[in-house]
Amino acid sequence: MISMRTIEELHSQNHTLALYCLSCNRWGVADLARLIQNGKGDKPVTEARFRCRDCGEIVEKQVRPPVPSLGEAVAYI
Ligand SMILES: [Zn+2]
């Protein structure tokens, strides 16, 4: 069982945290490395709050698993 409770655990498992602003209908990605650098690595993901750069609203969060690299994918035509 892999623990991904905090921002640092999420980052170390190569997951990303997508952010969505309802007001702007805009997707973004949290800069987890920068948050960890700033000492926020221990913060539980569920408690982290992110604000939209454009409108200042609290945005929605969505944990995303790592995307497989294209090199491992087999193309079918
Ligand atoms: Zn916004």
Q: What is the pLDDT of residues 25-43, one digit of tens each?
A: 999 999 999 999 999 999 9
Task: Report the C-alpha gap between 51 and 63 in whole angstroms.
Answer: 16
| Cα-to-centroid distance, 70 and ligand 1 (Å) | 32
For the entire predicted model, the pTM comes to: 0.80
Phi, psi of 7 (to 5 degrees): -60, -40
DSSP 41-52: TTSBGGG---B-
CA of 20 to the centre of ligand 1 (A): 8
Reported as a single tens digit per residue, the pLDDT across 15-26 is 999 999 999 999
How far is the centre of ligand 1, averaged over its atoms, from the C-alpha of 22 (Å)? Answer: 7
List pLDDT tens digits, range 36-74. 999 999 999 999 999 999 999 999 999 999 877 666 666
Q: Where are the domains of the chain?
A: 7-67
